[in-house]
């Protein structure tokens, strides 16, 4: 994620001038997830159950694939309050989980972008 | 049993022997310090110049307003105290004014703590206008460009296991215009 100051504005210009090859950050991936893989990709596993999240009153936006780590962190905070500094490991685990999640999303984006570039190039080659 | 007897001094006596008093109130009412009527003949002009302590060549009156306010009061050049020489030995250095010097009609405006009518700008007016417009328009131009070009993190929306919950949390991407 280096060179953020240069990358983020350039993304905006790319999306404005080349929308056919630049996925928007609001768009879901459009290609087959297994495209280009020998076998099947491993689907992500949701550890926390709906029941747990509901009883913990977890916000809807927090009910992602890191929810079980967040639940542990919240529980630790509740048990150790006001000495919440004891939960530094739980917090670190949650932030690491979020970072891994972000990395996955960044890879998905880049995969989508490259597949679009390839599709456009193939279409041009067919026209010529 | 009045040990201290008040000394009553009469105004005519005080006026004649003004050395015994710090102030003599000569003006009691508006009509007392109102200037004389507008000078029409050359003799009246000379009398007015004499009255205000000016040589006739420097005396100029304001346009005749029908005896309302200015009358024969001299029309002096408008020079703010701020541009007067601070090293000249003024009789009254606070106001940069000499004793018996005729006062401008708008003297209260020309003091050092008020307005400087003789101020000169550091740059010409068109230059300062161009500076202002340049700064404002370039800021507006940047704003206008960034209205079309939204910067964003190159990532897909957040993934949620539950269907229909996709993209609940979208942080820092600006309005949903895409």
pLDDT value for B27: 65
pLDDT value for A91: 96
Q: Which of A35-39, A52-56, B6-10, B66-70 has the highest mean pLDDT?
A: A52-56
Contact A30, A125 (CB under 8 A): no
- For chain B, helix, strand, coil in percent to 5 are 30, 0, 70
- Arithmetic mean of pLDDT, B118-140: 95
Per-residue pLDDT of B26-52, as tens digits, reads: 667 777 778 888 999 999 999 999 999
pLDDT value for B23: 63
At residue B21 the predicted structure's pLDDT band, cuts being 50, 70 and 90, is low
CB interface of B with A, residues 123-162, below 8 Å? 146, 148-162
Contact B10, B20 (CB under 8 A): no
- Arithmetic mean of pLDDT, A20-48: 90
User: Facing residues of B92 across strands?
Assistant: B97
- pLDDT at residue B178 greater than cutoff 80: no
Considering only the beta carbons, identify the residue of A23, A25, A44 that sits closest to B153. Answer: A25
CB interface of A with B, residues 67-96, below 8 Å? none
Of the candidates B166, B178, B23, which has an alpha carbon nearest to the alpha carbon of residue A19? B178
At residue B172 the predicted structure's pLDDT band, cuts being 50, 70 and 90, is very low
A54-77 as b/e: b if 16+ CB within 10 A: eebebeeebbbbbbbbbbbbbebb
* CA pair distance B36, B70, nearest whole angstrom: 8
What percentage of chain B reaches a pLDDT higher than 90?
Answer: 46
User: Cβ neighbours of residue B60 under 8 Å, at least 6 residues apart?
Assistant: B74, B75
Contact list in B for residue A65 (CB cut-off 8 A) is 159, 161
- Arithmetic mean of pLDDT, A5-18: 90
Query: Residue B89 to residues B86, B96, B97: CA-CA distances in angstroms?
Result: 8, 9, 10
- Domain count for chain A, please give it: 1
* CA pair distance B147, A18, nearest whole angstrom: 17
ipTM: 0.87
From B147, which residue of chain A is nearest by alpha-carbon distance?
A12
Considering only the beta carbons, identify the residue of A28, A46, A113 that sits closest to B161. Answer: A46
- pLDDT at residue A86 greater than cutoff 60: yes
Of the candidates B96, B100, B99, which has an alpha carbon nearest to the alpha carbon of residue B114? B96
Domain that holds residue A55: 4-127
- pLDDT at residue B167 greater than cutoff 70: no
């Amino acid at each position: 994620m280096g060179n953020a100051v240069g990358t983020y504005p350039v993304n905006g210009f790319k999306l404005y001038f080349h929308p056919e090859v630049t996925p928007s950050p609001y768009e879901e991936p459009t290609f087959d997830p297994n495209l280009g893989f020998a076998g099947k990709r491993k689907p992500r596993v949701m550890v926390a159950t709906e029941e747990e999240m509901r009883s913990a009153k977890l916000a809807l936006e927090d009910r992602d694939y890191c929810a079980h780590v967040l639940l542990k962190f919240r529980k630790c905070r509740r048990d150790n309050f006001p000495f919440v500094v004891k939960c530094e490991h739980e917090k670190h685990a949650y932030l690491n989980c979020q970072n891994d999640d972000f990395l996955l999303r960044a890879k998905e984006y880049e995969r989508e972008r490259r597949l679009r570039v390839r599709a456009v190039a193939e279409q041009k080659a067919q026209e010529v | 049993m009045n040990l201290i007897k008040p000394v009553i001094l009469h105004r005519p006596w005080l006026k004649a022997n003004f050395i015994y008093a710090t102030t003599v109130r000569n003006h009691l009412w508006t009509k007392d310090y109102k200037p004389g009527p507008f000078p029409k003949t050359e003799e009246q002009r000379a009398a007015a110049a004499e009255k205000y302590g000016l040589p006739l060549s420097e005396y100029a009156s304001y346009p005749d307003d029908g005896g309302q306010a200015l009358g024969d009061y001299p029309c002096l050049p408008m020079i703010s105290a701020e541009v007067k020489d601070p090293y000249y030995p003024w009789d009254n250095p606070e106001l940069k004014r000499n004793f018996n010097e005729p006062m401008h009609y708008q003297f209260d405006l020309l003091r050092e703590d008020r307005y400087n009518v003789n101020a000169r700008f550091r740059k010409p007016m068109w230059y300062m206008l161009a500076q202002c417009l340049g700064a404002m328009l370039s800021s507006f131009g940047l704003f206008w460009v960034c209205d079309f070009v939204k910067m964003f993190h190159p990532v897909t929306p957040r993934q949620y296991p539950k269907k229909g919950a996709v993209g609940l949390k979208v942080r820092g991407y600006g309005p949903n215009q895409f």
